[in-house]
Amino acid sequence: MSEAIAFASLLLTSSPHATERAVMNICANGTDNFASGTESSRDAALAQGFTINGLVLGQDAKLSQYFRSSVIGGRGAFAMDISDAKYAGEFMTRKLVRDLLASAPADAPRNRIE
């Protein structure tokens, strides 16, 4: 994950397209493969103003906590737990709605999405 965050940061900073908000979405069923962990890559991405969201695959409370403490960050960041791959489409829809709501102006109407 740390390499993915670092590479996404490179791609986002080198993009010729301007945006008010840049979001990375990390989806995984385990922790980072490198002993150094995700914190340094995450912190560097956050320092550049990026938001990192997480999709946690499986039913693992420790992994969910790992995402919340070591992976996600930035304005409106969140982690969602996906208990079973058959629900991935539903969760992706919910994730996209949350991304869009986080990008909306503070005074925009917000209807509850179930």
Of 79, 12, 96, 80, which Cα lies nearest the Cα of 47? Answer: 12
Number of structural domains found in the chain: 1
pLDDT in tens, 31-75: 988 777 899 999 999 999 999 999 898 888 999 999 999 999 998
Who contacts 46 (Cβ-Cβ below 8 Å, separation ≥6)? 52, 73, 74
* Cα distance between the two ends of the chain: 30
Encoded amino acid at 61, one letter = A
User: Could you tell me if residue 112 is inside a domain?
Assistant: no
Residue 65 structural domain: 2-103
User: Could you tell me if residue 108 is inside a domain?
Assistant: no
pLDDT in tens, 77-111: 989 888 877 777 777 787 778 777 776 666 655 55
User: Could you tell me if residue 113 is inside a domain?
Assistant: no
Q: What is the CATH number of the domain that holds 6?
A: 3.40.50.410
